[in-house]
Chain A
Amino acid sequence: MFAMPGVGWLLLFFVVSVYAVMAVAFGAVDPILRTPIPAWNPLQWNARAMSSVLHRVFGGDLGTVFVRTFWFVGLSLLGCILIGYPVAYFVARKAGKYRGLVLGMLVLPFWISYLMRMMAWTNLLAPDGMVNNVLHFLHLQGPQRYWLDGNWYTVVIGLVYGYVPFFILPLYSTLERIDGRLIEAGRDLGASSAQTFLRVTLPLSVPGLMAASVITILPMFGDYYTNTYLTSGSPKTEMIGNQIERYLLGTSQPQTGASLVLILMAFLFVLMAYYLYTTIRQQRLADR
């Protein structure tokens, strides 16, 4: 009974939505208006579009985009870990009376629309923008750097910037709950600060690290506007989200876009399943 709202939510906003996407992916297109005609009855499903997309993903042009997207997301996750972990650790264990203030500052960027923040980056990274000016002032850069010319690292910077708060907050929550006595015990038993961190804090924070990673990479995989804004549509940095957007909003082949959504979901489901498996396993180990 208590689960009914959750079940209702899942049915409405996940199961039915996914089924609608499937009905489009395996449906047809209005020959005049080029709008999708969904096939709600699975017996009427036509796998032509899905088959064509799978062919292009495994060995064709879309495969390149998938691989590139995985690289971008992987590197961005690495960036989030390198930046986010120390920040979360500081807030949870060292910030003391300033914890509320720092947490508030971490949430502050959410007050501004994501698109606005990306547009701000286009100004900061412009050839005569503040980033180049600062690098030049510090003598860290020779010739003027064109950050917005379709560079992979600009997209990764954008993704890290955009999603790192999503990484920090769940990780902070885990780090903050670690029993301080365990860390003290580690030090009392002769471990150095580094050893205590590596043998006590880090293992205990793995569930938070996993949760933060999942929460961060799921939206990153579907992101398309970061790339659009920061590279002005360079083919060198096209992500799978750009292809999905194009096929769904700008072509006569919405089934192709819907098929890409399903394939991406299948990839993400594998990651999600691994996350659930490790979480349950750790929970069982902890319960023993």
Chain B
Amino acid sequence: MTSSRRDFLARSVQLGALVGVGVPILQACGSGSTSAGKRQTKTIADGLQPEKGPLRILNYDAYVNPDVIKDFEAKFGVKVEITTFTTDTEALTKLASGAVKVDLHHSMAATSINRLIDGGLLQPLNKSYLSNSANVVSKLQDPWYDKGSTYSVPYTYFGTGIGYRADKIDKATVEQQGWDALWKATSHKGKVSVLDDEREALIMAMLRKGVTDINTVDPTIINQAQADLSELINLVSVKVNIDAYKNLPDGTAEICHTWSSDLINAANGYLPTGAEPTILGYWHPPAGKYMVTNDSMGVLANAEHPVLAHLYLNFLLDNAVAEKNFTFTGYLPALTKLDADYVVGKGLVPENLRNCVPTKDEIDQAIYERPLTTDGDALYEAAWSKFTAGG
């Protein structure tokens, strides 16, 4: 049964190449997850010499420091080529269809890793090449999405909370109101936003109402969360985007449902001339109710340069390299050394945004957005569609 579907999809790719339509259609006509080259289903052998490259990477735009890439190229005498994507789904689609052929996925969402593993798109890692993996924060050395870090190593981590303009909104008020602050920001109408991510936004609305099972597929709870989000349309003229990192500092937004790293980015790279980081503030729920998630890196099963890819992973897990990378991306490396005391002490994160760096307790007790069934995803997507359509 499986092979017939694969043959069918393999035929489809030829037609797809002829048609030349967009990514999803290309995927529709794609070769499936099985014909994009020879696949590595076991770990590579120990002690292999790195290939001559080039090392091909799939990553979000501007999600790695170009100087770090140059350092890697100089150290190993190879070229690095980066292909970019804009959404997690797009990356998955391109990889599954064979539309892009790369050695390394640089930023896999935690909810996608199981799909990549189950789809046979990742190869198990050989830890003998990853001496720096001991630097990773303890909880993420054995993450829930990839037990024993068999297929992935953490890249960055961040929490989800509220970013706000501390010069316009009282810190104590936000801390007292919590998620409700978004609904009560009527005097900031037009300057309120929620993340353009259906799970994140609907979960936020659930947490506001005290729902603790954030991976529920109960339609009643999901629809209630949608109705609550839709209230924001008229209450505060809510916007839906992932632009808090620039909208908060430039004043386009004043209170946003956003990721903690966006505040660090905002403070380090987007403040108007003369403005101090103290104009920014961040609130997040207490440990146990705080979503802390991470992006990960993995080597593709059909990688042409798997040894080089392993060496790259190890390079990025080096404390000094990760710190250099952080100064550009603003996203915290998931390494023990780069904790709040360290990054604040070195001036990499302003003191008033110390809480943007998740503590060990917050990481250990973090709540996670887990993968859902197709029907479960469909419920969230339908609710999200209804919200973005105007409620």
Given A150-B190, A232-B193, A252-B377, answer yes or no on A33-B252 (Cβ-Cβ < 8 Å): no
Determine if A35 and B388 form an interchain contact, defined as CB atoms under 8 angstroms apart.
no
Q: Residues of B contacting A162 with CB < 8 Å?
A: none
B83-108: which residues lie under 8 A (CB-CB) from chain A?
86-87, 89-90, 92-93, 96-97
Against A, the Cβ 8 Å flags (1 = close, 0 = not) of B2-43 are 000100110010011011111111011110110000000000
A127 to B16, CA, bound (A): 46
Decide yes or no whether A251 CB sits under 8 A from chain B. Answer: yes
A183 to B90, CA, bound (A): 57
Determine if B252 and A148 form an interchain contact, defined as CB atoms under 8 angstroms apart.
yes
B165-195: which residues lie under 8 A (CB-CB) from chain A?
189-191, 193
Against B, the Cβ 8 Å flags (1 = close, 0 = not) of A206-250 are 000000000000000000000000011111101000110011111
B341-391: which residues lie under 8 A (CB-CB) from chain A?
374, 377-378, 381, 385-391
A257 to B381, CA, bound (A): 12
Determine if B385 and A146 form an interchain contact, defined as CB atoms under 8 angstroms apart.
no
Decide yes or no whether A253 CB sits under 8 A from chain B. Answer: yes
Against B, the Cβ 8 Å flags (1 = close, 0 = not) of A19-59 are 01101100101111111111010000000000000000000
Q: How near does chain A come to B84, taking the closest CB pair, in angstroms?
A: 14
A231 to B390, CA, bound (A): 13
Q: Residues of A contacting B386 with CB < 8 Å?
A: 61
9 additional contacts (CB under 8 A) given A40-B8, A61-B385, A150-B239: A12-B19, A20-B28, A33-B119, A65-B389, A149-B190, A232-B241, A252-B381, A253-B378, A254-B24
Decide yes or no whether B247 CB sits under 8 A from chain A. Answer: yes
Decide yes or no whether A196 CB sits under 8 A from chain B. Answer: no
Identity of the chain A residue whose Cβ is nearest the Cβ of B243 in the assembled complex: A232
Determine if B388 and A246 form an interchain contact, defined as CB atoms under 8 angstroms apart.
yes
Decide yes or no whether B73 CB sits under 8 A from chain A. Answer: no
Q: How near does chain B come to A255, taking the closest CB pair, in angstroms?
A: 10
A109 to B385, CA, bound (A): 34
Determine if A126 and B252 form an interchain contact, defined as CB atoms under 8 angstroms apart.
yes
Q: Among the listed A35, A62, A127, which residue makes an inter-chain contact with B93, where contact means beta carbons less than 8 Å apart?
A: A35
Determine if B23 and A232 form an interchain contact, defined as CB atoms under 8 angstroms apart.
no
Main secondary structure of the interface of B (DSSP, over half): helix
Chain A residues near B (Cβ < 8 Å): 12-13, 16-17, 20-21, 23-24, 27, 29-38, 40, 61-62, 64-65, 68, 126-127, 146, 148-150, 231-236, 238, 242-243, 246-254, 257-258
A242 to B388, CA, bound (A): 9
A40 to B24, CA, bound (A): 15
Q: Residues of A contacting B237 with CB < 8 Å?
A: 149-150, 234, 236
Determine if B28 and A257 form an interchain contact, defined as CB atoms under 8 angstroms apart.
no
Determine if B252 and A243 form an interchain contact, defined as CB atoms under 8 angstroms apart.
no
A251 to B387, CA, bound (A): 15
Q: Residues of B contacting A235 with CB < 8 Å?
A: 230, 233, 238, 240, 387-391
A25 to B388, CA, bound (A): 22
A128 to B45, CA, bound (A): 60
Q: How near does chain A come to B224, taking the closest CB pair, in angstroms?
A: 16
Identity of the chain A residue whose Cβ is nearest the Cβ of B90 in the assembled complex: A249
Determine if B92 and A33 form an interchain contact, defined as CB atoms under 8 angstroms apart.
yes
Given A35-B92, A148-B252, answer yes or no on A248-B390 (Cβ-Cβ < 8 Å): no
Q: Residues of B contacting A250 with CB < 8 Å?
A: 87, 89-90
Q: Residues of B contacting A65 with CB < 8 Å?
A: 389-390
Determine if A24 and B24 form an interchain contact, defined as CB atoms under 8 angstroms apart.
yes
Given A33-B92, A36-B28, A250-B87, answer yes or no on A236-B15 (Cβ-Cβ < 8 Å): no
A206 to B239, CA, bound (A): 41
Q: Residues of A contacting B16 with CB < 8 Å?
A: 20
Given A27-B28, A40-B12, A254-B28, answer yes or no on A249-B23 (Cβ-Cβ < 8 Å): yes
B38-93: which residues lie under 8 A (CB-CB) from chain A?
86-87, 89-90, 92-93
A17 to B15, CA, bound (A): 10
Determine if A16 and B19 form an interchain contact, defined as CB atoms under 8 angstroms apart.
yes
Determine if B89 and A249 form an interchain contact, defined as CB atoms under 8 angstroms apart.
yes
Q: Residues of B contacting A23 with CB < 8 Å?
A: 28
Interface pairs A-B: 4 shortest CB-CB: A149-B190, A233-B240, A36-B28, A38-B28
Against A, the Cβ 8 Å flags (1 = close, 0 = not) of B251-292 are 110000000000000000000000000000000000000000
A61 to B9, CA, bound (A): 34
Q: Among the listed B27, B190, B239, B387, which residue makes an inter-chain contact with A36, where contact means beta carbons less than 8 Å apart?
A: B27
A149 to B364, CA, bound (A): 39
Q: Residues of B contacting A234 with CB < 8 Å?
A: 237-240
Q: Residues of B contacting A247 with CB < 8 Å?
A: 381, 385
Interface CB pairs A-B, < 8 A, 27: A12-B19, A20-B21, A21-B21, A21-B25, A32-B119, A34-B92, A35-B27, A36-B28, A61-B385, A126-B252, A149-B191, A150-B237, A232-B193, A233-B193, A234-B239, A234-B240, A242-B388, A243-B385, A248-B22, A249-B87, A250-B87, A251-B377, A252-B377, A252-B378, A252-B381, A253-B381, A257-B24
Identity of the chain B residue whose Cβ is nearest the Cβ of A62 in the assembled complex: B389
Identity of the chain B residue whose Cβ is nearest the Cβ of A21 in the assembled complex: B25
Q: How near does chain A come to B103, taking the closest CB pair, in angstroms?
A: 19
A1 to B24, CA, bound (A): 35
